[in-house]
Structure 1
Amino acid sequence: MSARMNDSLFGLIPAASDGRQWTAHSMQLVNWGGYHGHHEVRFSGGATLLSGASGSGKSTLLDAYIALMMSHTTPFNGASNGTTSGRARGREQRSVLSYARGKVDESREDGSTSSRDRVLRGDGVDTWSAISMTWTDQSGSALTALRAWYVPRDAQRNEECVVVRATADEVFDLRRLEDLAPGRFARPGLADAGLSLFDTDVAFATRLHAALGIGAAGDGHKAMQLLGRIQAGQAITTVDALYKAMVLEEPETLAVAQRAVEHFDELAAVREEMLTATRQVEVLRPMIGLRDQIDEAAASVALLDGLGAAGASTGGGPTPFTAWRDARRLALVRAEEATNRAAHRTAQERRAAAAARITTAEGELDEARAARTRQGGDAVEGAEREVRRAAERLEAVRTARASLDSPLDVLGRTVGSEPELARLQREGRAFVENRSERAASRESATFAARQHASDVGRRLAALEAEKESFSRRRGNVGAEDDAARCALAEAAGLAPAELPFVAELLEVRPAYEPWRDAIGTALGGFATVVLVDHARLDRFRSAIDSVDLRRRVRFEGAETGLPLADDADPATLPGRVEVKAGPFGGWLAERLDQRFDHVCVDDPGELSRHPRALTRTGQVSDGRRGAHGGGRRASVLGFSNAARLDTLTEEITAARTDLREAEAAAEEARHGDAAETDRVVAYTQCLAVAWEDVDVAGAEAALAERTSRRDALLAGSDVLQALQDDEERIRTRLTALYRERADAENQVQALAEQWAAITDLVDEVTDAVAQADDGPSVGTAEQTARLDAALDAVLAEPATSVAAFSAATHAVVRELERDREAAVESGRSARAALGALFERFCDTWPNPNLGTDPEASYADFLRVYEEIEHQQLYQLQERWSRTIGRLSGNDLTLLNSVMTRSVAEIRERMEPVNAILSTLPFRDDEHRLRITATVTEAADISSFRRALRDLAADPGEQTAAQRTRRFDRMARLIDRIRPDSPERRRLVDVRDHVRISAECVDLDGTHVSVYDHIAGKSGGESQELVAFIVGAALRYQLGDAGAARPRYAPVFLDEAFIKADARFAGRAVGAWRGLGFQLVIGAPLDKVGALEPHVDVVLQAVKDDRGRSRLVTLVGAPEPAPATALR
């Protein structure tokens, strides 16, 4: 940097000034407001007073300066009309368009409520307007800046006009634009006229600021903003307000706070994306389990269908089921075959041993008979033969009777005569013939008994679970609803009692207990609505949104603390229930009166007599609508569930009794199968018996008669008697041997017959197994295991015979059919749930690329789920962590430091202003004016700064819950500094954190008096105070505080010094002029006398009857034309 510069409040300024100063020489107007055609205003180099009656055009001239020099955001007529509102230069205020057309008034169009502007020009035709100002310096150099507008007839906005921005290094006559206007100010013509053109307001202002020395280092716009505020001159009552409004600019803290808000909104958006992704993952997570359920169901159906059990009973080809069945049968029949052969060998051995002993015994008997014959025992021999035959007959009959007694014991019957046996055999024949039908019935009964026992067991478990749930709480609402309510309460950080069900707040009055079910039916789903304090409703909704509930819970926000009135009509539903006193009592009573004011009637014929009515059975009427039924469920109403617990205790006791009976019935059914088989065998044995073969009494009588005859013969000889006794002993032993041989023979024969049947069955089953082994029907290990499991399910103990196994296979088939139905239903329900899940996702987050078919769309949803869970959610969490760290680490830290620095800068910036004021006499030559600042940080600001510092500090490693709590704290803080927050300016605008005052000091700096409230001073004193404070600040804003005079001198003051008398007005004007400024003062006519002695030129604006304005010189003479003549 070639020239030495000093660092000042508003930029870099020359350390030494060349004393050059630009003053406003003249202003030209063409078609501006009431100034129709061309007008020129010459200014004095010292002070010029513009006066005039209200509406004469005085402020129009001052607004022309604003239009030329200020930003488009600076409103017109700021001082003379303090009631302006709306957007600066908008339709509600004065604007370039209204000035260019010369708006005079507004009039209402005939037959319309709309108004129309009355204008001096441009009514239905194009027009144009222009403003220029020429400045000169001590050397005679001149600079002219101008703006011109070509206004089409239908233009409604400034943007629809052709705008010219230009400068000339000479005095330029605006009348030269007259010839260029018809061409809409074509650029070549303007250039030929010697004008330098600028396309933007920024480029135009930059040129003027650089040429006229306004500001330093490109900060001319700040100086112009202060000039605009000075010109507006609104009434200010305190030094604090004056300094902040006129001198201090908007601090950097507002922009930093806005960036923090924007970054936080970005953080909130990331968090919302993250929460949305989390909710989407929670919604979609069950889809994998449902898909597995569908696949498992399909696999189960395929497995069961592949077994081929359904058609096994109707023949057909071999299947895995028949292969498994035949393999099991073959194993059982092989085992029976081996058992039969072993038993057959044993029976043969017994028969052979008995035959050998019989041969020996028969020899002994022959010898005994021979000895008896030699002793003359022929007659006795004959009698003995008769006795033997009778004894053998009796033994055979007893054996047959013993064989009959066993099946009779099974049947629980006795047979004492031939007719009784015939009757038993008729029953047995019928029983055996109907055995197949009874077998099917028994199997069904056995299955039904087992199923009933299972159902009773489940019902008992449900009752016990329900009782356990009710024992932990006081309400009567179901366990699933209560569990869902508790989950929501936990997520929201509330106690379940703070989220009551409506039913828990209602109790049927004792006098109307018979109406309990009807009232519960009428209330319907409203009874299970959860009530939430309406003040917590938004937070509650946010807290529970991620909770995954299988049970849908309805809730409603309710006002708390409303008075509870107990004046409902007992003839209506609200009058027959008692509302529990508490936070929600008043609201609930009102809601019952509004929605459930049913009249309770005993006769359904009375329903139509009332707008709403209710019968004891639960039928409701609502005008022409009605409803009935659904009242068999347990009532959920009541403050206490003691009655419900008593009922459950009784039901559990009854259910336990039912379970014992059901289990006994199932056990009896299982034993009934074996008893049935025993009865069939018993009846079959009875059918094979003739009465004479089992008539023991008859055989005993025959034996007794023959024995008596023999004994008579033996009574005459002792030798014969002895021989007879020997023979009798041998015969007894021989009889036992005969019996033993017969039993063995019978067993051999039975086993042989059984062997023949077994052999046939072995051949049959072996062929079936061989056929299965040769074909594709051999079951897999999975199929075999499935069939084994089904067999174990239907058998209490393993089958050891082919007959038992054959009976069990029928039950296996039915079990497999039921399993298939269950698998089909499981797949269907899972498919429906998956479709509902997809629909819920699409309803919540519409996506035209996603369908809802559970089969066709599953892959798309799985891709979405995996992308969210494994990629997007992770990325969002990373962004969330980075953004929250950046916000706290950068934005909040910067905001905290900028607030601290900005407060210090306010004080620092006062130093150069006070340096200027120290050179200017205030009140007299012995006193000076000094600006002071006092920090006034209130409690709310201190707490805000403290929270800001806490959040700006590095939190270190945090859990997700800690980050969420930190985010919530940050959200509360950011909400306080949002643009729409009423606290924003107070908290962030550090100008409000200090109190500005002025004090009068002597030459030694000793305090003399303080100036705080401007309104407490006289009009002149206040104007002088304003001039000193604002003038000194302006010198620094213009960037040449160290020069003898400001480089840019013009200061326009609208409605200035209106409360000052001549003496104080002179002091105020003197202050401005002492600071080296050129004044252009706008004041009403009644202040001309006070200001005239202190100005060089007095101009008055006047307006004629046509609404056209012009200027008249009252005092002084205009400045002579500069050396460069008008061109």
Structure 2
Amino acid sequence: MNPFSQAELLGGSSDQFRLARIQTFNWGTFSNVFDFPIPKEGYLFVGPSGSGKSTVLDAHAALLTPPKWVDFNVAAREAERNGRDRSVMTYLRGAWAQQTGEAGEYVSQYLRGGTTWSAIAETYRDELGRVVVLAQVLWVKGNSTAPGDAKRVYLTLEREFDVQELEFFAKNEFDARRFKHDLPDAKVHTEFSAYQERFRRLLGIENERALRLLHKTQSAKNLGDLNVFLRDFMLDEPETFGIAASLVNEFGELNEAHQEVVAARKQIQTLVPARDEHGELDRVKLESNGLQAIQTAIDQYREHRRKLLLDERIAELEVDREGSRQETLRLASIVENEFQKLTDLQRQKLNMGADVLVRLEDDIKAAEAEKPIRIGKRDLAAAACEAMGWAVPDSVVWFVQRVEAAKQRVLKARDLKKEVEERKDGVKEELRKANERFQKVVAEVKALERQKSNLPARLVDLRERMARDLSIPEEKLPFVGELVEVRAEETAWRGAIERVLGGFARSILVDEKHYSAVSAYLNERNIGERLVYFRTIPQTSGRSPGPNSLVRKLNMASGSFGDWVREELKHSFDFECADTLQAFRNASRAVTREGQVKHSTMRHEKNDRHSVNDRNQWVLGFDNKEKLALFKQQAAEIGGRISELEETVRKIGKEEDAQQVQMLNCQNLSNLTWNDVDVGSLLTRINDLTLRLKAEREARPDLAALNDSIRKQEDAHSKAVGKKNTEDGKGQSISAEINRLKGKLEELARLWPTSDRPPAFAAQIAVRYEATEKAVTLESLDHVTTLVERGLNSELRTLESRLSDLRNSIVQRFADFNRVWPALAGGLDATLESADDYLAKLKRLEDDNLPAFEDRFFSLLREQSDQNLTLLTTKLDEERSAIRSRMELVNESLRTAPFNPGTHLVIDTTDKAIEDVRLFRASLKESLSHSFSNDRDLAEERFKALASLVKRLASQETADKNWRNFVLDVRQHVEFVARELDEDDLEVEVYRSGAGKSGGQRQKLAATCLAAALRYQLGGQDRALPRYSTVVLDEAFDKADAEFTAMAMNIFKTFGFQMIVATPLKSVMTLEPFIGGACFVHIKDRKKSAVIPIEYDSESHRLKLTQDVRDVEEITVS
């Protein structure tokens, strides 16, 4: 059956525009000009994947599809939506591969670099002879690959056209103004919108939606699910997404207004406490100032009070002094009477001869006073003699001899002391040197224990310090001595070799890597030592040491440093070890075992400052066991000697102490005379005087009674004098106190001139004095004042603390204000000096800003967001109605096309019960609730509900984006059910997606609906066939079976469409009956597409595939 017969029955096709020709120039991998003649019956682009079939079809898409919708190579990407790999620029440049760049990034490879241009064109014809050509010219200058740098011109013509007519464009340096000059009959456009308006009018395409459906159809792959097909191909994205986006965008203004309200409230909340605290600050300041004024007046009050107390005390003392004066006069009379009585008794005693007794009594008193002095000196002399080992002198001659001997000892002691001191100093000096030597030996022991080196501790420490400061391992700075040792069999020559190599062995080796750092380090500081170091530049000595050479008696360490040392020894220390003086004299350079060194024929050296065999001076060797043992032995010996010397010093010290004691005793003895120590003669005198006094008293028996009366009268007189003196002293004390107090008054008047009158606040201060509950006297005045001041200070400290807290709190609130709202702060400092400005801002916030912000917020909430919410709610309903209306139009087309013999399809639209959608509608309703209420609390609640909704609508989280896309896409809220009806509109079959129907049934259903939709969009309700009839499918059937492919093609043909299909070779047999020509597309070297025309047999409706085509297919696939 001819597939066109049914279409022709539906109405004539003479005014249908069908694609007749496709032309490309430098489009993708199709370089230069390619011309594809397209039969009106349809056309196949056959070829393997990646050959360039989609490239040709994308030229068709570029010509018909608005740039905002065009999506190249979609069929190849299928469901993969990670990004668009093709663009106008990739086709313009001829992108053919991606390679990894130097930085690891992917770099596209292009056929055409530099300034280049491309052109594409399609020719449409109808049976009435009319021709419409659509063409685009693209170009880019320079080396840019950015899609935005591609320039385009759109052309429409109503005549036949060949792309080679465009050669003028490149020849005129891509001057777009030349199009109107060189193609005067072409309509030239620089914007797609104007271009599409013209070609849609010429080709009979009523609206832009048809172009979008055609583009979607081009990439259609799976037509098996009715719901998916209708949503993706038949229905546009609902406007709810745009309204929701407007809601989100405009909510920003509303949210900003709300934030202004919130911010104003927070600003007020921040500053109101500051205002309250500022008022309290003023009150506390006033109270504090009052207390400070009282505190200032306290000193004057105290001194005024002191003057009053002094006046009172002086008045009291004047009375006391007068009473004391009267009492003193009375007691003076009594003293005079008692003295007269005593005088009378003493006169009687003199008349009885008592003067002898008085003289004897005085002599006895003097002798008794002398006795303890002589006894003390006698004991001192006895102790001195005993200490010197002498007997105590018992006669004047013996005493004088001992005194003379002591004087001689004192004279000799000076020389003896000098001799002992000299002997002690000598021992101490030896001890000092021993200690110094001991410290050095101990330091060497410690250094030797730390590492294997035999070098002196001072050099080892210097290297350790330098290595640490430079962060260089110590082994990278070896001493030469650490790399050389004398062979065991040559120990007899050890001392001589050490003497020759001593200086060299103490040198440090520095490699090239560390040379700069070491030289700079040593140059920048005083190291306190002599240090030689060698820069180890590689060297080779051509010398070969002789058999008795010093070099042959050594072992060298391995490694680069050891190699350098070996060469340096051969070059600089090739000394002959001479066993005899004759050999020594004959050699040019030599050394003897005794350490004599011959440096040259003239210069000789013998250095015996140290013995040649002094192992302390040896520094060579890979380890230091022998030297460590030697130094430990020396340390032990020196330590023993130090102990001996310390004991000698202690003994000499004891000897000095003994000499000092003897000298002191001798000095004490030499300062005495015999009369100083003669106690015996003094005792004899006292006894004689006592006997004489007794005899005189016995000669005057009446004198005893008189003496008793005199003693009693003396006591009476003494008591009277004592009372009189006491009272006299009392009077003097009172006078002195009066004078002292008057002096204080004078001083007070001088220091405090105002003390004669009470100060300000005297009453308040007096109350504070009384509050201490202490009696105020001259003695307690300062103490009570201290208590009052202490109380005042305590109150002031409390107030000052409160003031400080208030200041800090206010400043902190100002700082918080500045930190959170720096712009509003306007550069104000967060200080108390700015308080008036802040409080003025607070007043403006309360009186002006907050009300204005609230009015704006509630106004926007009513006027903007409520409008968007209402519009969104309305649009959700309208979109549902629009879906039903759209389906009705599709049903009109379906009624004109038989589905099965005697039947046609009708699509019903039913709502789905979806919980997320129900909750979304509920949230919209909640956000709109009370929208006409003036209650601001309710409005605040509405805002919170709206904010929650907008937050989710604006979220970029995957779950929220999925939710947003679902609840806003009304297409997801309905289910499409196809019903098959007979000629009487009776139901024959029902088709639901996934309802158990076969794949073929579902695919037939979807294909029928797609064809009907295309027919409706391209032909409307008034035409049996669409005026624009070309439909492009890019590998739509590569995975479908032959039955579905034939069925789908039949459906499209039934609706009068010209089918342009890209397909692999395997699907050709099924598609052959529905087209009128084909070509085979293949690619060379992955970057040069080529075309082989395939002859078509119109009688058998089959392609004549040549062996060449099959061979190319096999080569390309392989």
Hey, what's the Cα distance between the residues in 2 that align with 1:1060 and 1:162? 39
Q: What's the counterpart of residue 202 of structure 2?
A: 211
One-letter amino acid of the counterpart of residue 86, structure 1: N
One-letter amino acid of the counterpart of residue 1079, structure 2: L
Q: Which moved more, 1:272-281 or 1:796-805?
A: 796-805
Q: SS where residue 812 of structure 2 aligns? A: helix
Shift of 1:1061: 6.2
Residue of structure 1 aligned with 2:20, choices 14, 17, 25: 25
Hey, what's the Cα distance between the residues in 1 that align with 2:1094 and 2:1059? 17
User: Are 2:35 and 1:40 equivalent residues in the alignment?
Assistant: yes
One-letter amino acid of the counterpart of residue 32, structure 1: W
Q: Is the 8 A contact 1:134 1:142 kept in 2?
A: yes
Hey, what's the Cα distance between the residues in 2 that align with 1:298 and 1:1063? 101
Q: Is the 8 A contact 1:48 1:1079 kept in 2?
A: yes
Hey, what's the Cα distance between the residues in 1 that align with 2:262 and 2:767? 51
Hey, what's the Cα distance between the residues in 2 that align with 1:891 and 1:17? 50
Residue of structure 2 aligned with 1:1110, choices 1091, 1094, 1098: 1091
Q: What's the counterpart of residue 164 of structure 2?
A: 175
Q: SS where residue 180 of structure 1 aligns? A: helix
Change in CA separation of 1:790 and 1:886 when aligned onto 2, cut-off 3 Å: farther
Equivalences for 1:306-345 in 2 at 5 Å? 309-310=296-297, 313=300
Equivalences for 1:534-613 in 2 at 5 Å? none
One-letter amino acid of the counterpart of residue 241, structure 2: L
Q: Is the 8 A contact 1:310 1:817 kept in 2?
A: no
Equivalences for 1:1045-1056 in 2 at 5 Å? 1045-1056=1025-1036
Q: What's the counterpart of residue 50 of structure 2?
A: 55
User: Are 2:903 and 1:927 equivalent residues in the alignment?
Assistant: yes
User: Are 2:187 and 1:200 equivalent residues in the alignment?
Assistant: no
Q: What's the counterpart of residue 98 of structure 2?
A: 106
Unaligned runs of 5+ in 1: 1-15, 317-321, 334-403, 405-417, 420-690, 692-763, 1119-1127
Q: Is the 8 A contact 1:1098 1:1116 kept in 2?
A: no
Shift of 1:812: 6.8
Residue of structure 2 aligned with 1:94, choices 79, 86, 100: 86
One-letter amino acid of the counterpart of residue 971, structure 1: A
How many residues are aligned here?
Answer: 648
Change in CA separation of 1:80 and 1:826 when aligned onto 2, cut-off 3 Å: closer
Q: Which moved more, 1:294-303 or 1:160-169?
A: 294-303
User: Are 2:258 and 1:267 equivalent residues in the alignment?
Assistant: no
CA deviation map 1:981-1014 (0-9, x unaligned): 1211222211111111222111111111123347
Q: SS where residue 264 of structure 2 aligns? A: helix
Q: Is the 8 A contact 2:224 2:1006 kept in 1?
A: no
Shift of 1:1018: 6.4
Q: Is the 8 A contact 2:890 2:1013 kept in 1?
A: yes
Q: Is the 8 A contact 1:1023 1:1060 kept in 2?
A: no
Hey, what's the Cα distance between the residues in 2 that align with 1:1117 and 1:43? 14
One-letter amino acid of the counterpart of residue 290, structure 1: E
User: Are 2:860 and 1:883 equivalent residues in the alignment?
Assistant: yes
Shift of 1:1022: 4.9
One-letter amino acid of the counterpart of residue 895, structure 1: L
Change in CA separation of 1:136 and 1:261 when aligned onto 2, cut-off 3 Å: same
Residue of structure 1 aligned with 2:236, choices 249, 260, 264: 249
Hey, what's the Cα distance between the residues in 2 that align with 1:307 and 1:1061? 111
CA deviation map 1:621-670 (0-9, x unaligned): xxxxxxxxxxxxxxxxxxxxxxxxxxxxxxxxxxxxxxxxxxxxxxxxxx
Shift of 1:802: 14
Hey, what's the Cα distance between the residues in 1 that align with 2:880 and 2:811? 63
Shift of 1:960: 5.7
Q: Is the 8 A contact 2:224 2:1002 kept in 1?
A: no
Change in CA separation of 1:267 and 1:1010 when aligned onto 2, cut-off 3 Å: same
Equivalences for 1:969-988 in 2 at 5 Å? 969-978=945-954, 980=956, 981=960, 982-988=962-968
Q: Is the 8 A contact 1:1061 1:1090 kept in 2?
A: no
Shift of 1:249: 0.9
Hey, what's the Cα distance between the residues in 1 that align with 2:1040 and 2:24? 31
Q: Is the 8 A contact 2:115 2:141 kept in 1?
A: yes
One-letter amino acid of the counterpart of residue 101, structure 1: R
Change in CA separation of 1:18 and 1:872 when aligned onto 2, cut-off 3 Å: farther
Q: SS where residue 55 of structure 2 aligns? A: helix
Equivalences for 1:59-208 in 2 at 5 Å? 59-72=54-67, 73-82=69-78, 84-88=80-84, 93-108=85-100, 113-122=104-113, 125-181=114-170, 183-194=172-183, 195-208=186-199
CA deviation map 1:816-852 (0-9, x unaligned): 5655555444433432333333333334444584354
Change in CA separation of 1:1054 and 1:801 when aligned onto 2, cut-off 3 Å: closer
Shift of 1:130: 1.3
User: Are 2:1071 and 1:1075 equivalent residues in the alignment?
Assistant: no
Q: What's the counterpart of residue 222 of structure 1?
A: 209
Hey, what's the Cα distance between the residues in 1 that align with 2:1069 and 2:1044? 13
Hey, what's the Cα distance between the residues in 2 that align with 1:278 and 1:948? 28
One-letter amino acid of the counterpart of residue 135, structure 1: Y
One-letter amino acid of the counterpart of residue 71, structure 2: P
Q: SS where residue 927 of structure 2 aligns? A: helix
Shift of 1:247: 0.1
Q: Is the 8 A contact 1:999 1:1010 kept in 2?
A: yes
Q: Is the 8 A contact 2:302 2:781 kept in 1?
A: no
Q: Is the 8 A contact 2:926 2:942 kept in 1?
A: no
Hey, what's the Cα distance between the residues in 1 that align with 2:1032 and 2:870? 42
Q: What's the counterpart of residue 873 of structure 1?
A: 850
Q: SS where residue 1108 of structure 1 aligns? A: strand
Change in CA separation of 1:113 and 1:956 when aligned onto 2, cut-off 3 Å: closer
User: Are 2:915 and 1:939 equivalent residues in the alignment?
Assistant: yes
Change in CA separation of 1:27 and 1:310 when aligned onto 2, cut-off 3 Å: same
Change in CA separation of 1:864 and 1:200 when aligned onto 2, cut-off 3 Å: farther
Equivalences for 1:666-677 in 2 at 5 Å? none
Rg comparison, structure with higher value:
2
CA deviation map 1:208-238 (0-9, x unaligned): 33333323xxxx3321111111111132441
Q: Is the 8 A contact 2:14 2:126 kept in 1?
A: no
Hey, what's the Cα distance between the residues in 2 that align with 1:270 and 1:871? 15
Hey, what's the Cα distance between the residues in 2 that align with 1:805 and 1:845? 60
Shift of 1:37: 0.5
Q: Is the 8 A contact 2:295 2:789 kept in 1?
A: no
Q: Is the 8 A contact 1:24 1:43 kept in 2?
A: yes
One-letter amino acid of the counterpart of residue 885, structure 2: E
Hey, what's the Cα distance between the residues in 2 that align with 1:185 and 1:1018? 57
Hey, what's the Cα distance between the residues in 2 that align with 1:1015 and 1:1101? 41
C-alpha RMSD over aligned residues = 4.5
Q: Is the 8 A contact 2:818 2:830 kept in 1?
A: no
Q: SS where residue 20 of structure 2 aligns? A: strand
Change in CA separation of 1:840 and 1:951 when aligned onto 2, cut-off 3 Å: closer
Change in CA separation of 1:1019 and 1:1060 when aligned onto 2, cut-off 3 Å: farther
One-letter amino acid of the counterpart of residue 903, structure 1: R
One-letter amino acid of the counterpart of residue 198, structure 2: R
Hey, what's the Cα distance between the residues in 2 that align with 1:802 and 1:55? 120
Q: SS where residue 168 of structure 2 aligns? A: coil
Q: What's the counterpart of residue 264 of structure 2?
A: 277
Q: Is the 8 A contact 1:19 1:1047 kept in 2?
A: no
Shift of 1:299: 4.0
Q: Is the 8 A contact 2:295 2:792 kept in 1?
A: no
Hey, what's the Cα distance between the residues in 2 that align with 1:175 and 1:788? 120
Q: Is the 8 A contact 1:17 1:1042 kept in 2?
A: no
One-letter amino acid of the counterpart of residue 23, structure 1: R
Q: SS where residue 143 of structure 2 aligns? A: coil
Equivalences for 1:747-896 in 2 at 5 Å? 791-792=766-767, 795=770, 819-847=795-823, 849-886=826-863, 889-896=866-873
Shift of 1:256: 2.2
Hey, what's the Cα distance between the residues in 1 that align with 2:837 and 2:1097? 89
One-letter amino acid of the counterpart of residue 243, structure 2: V
Hey, what's the Cα distance between the residues in 2 that align with 1:883 and 1:815? 62
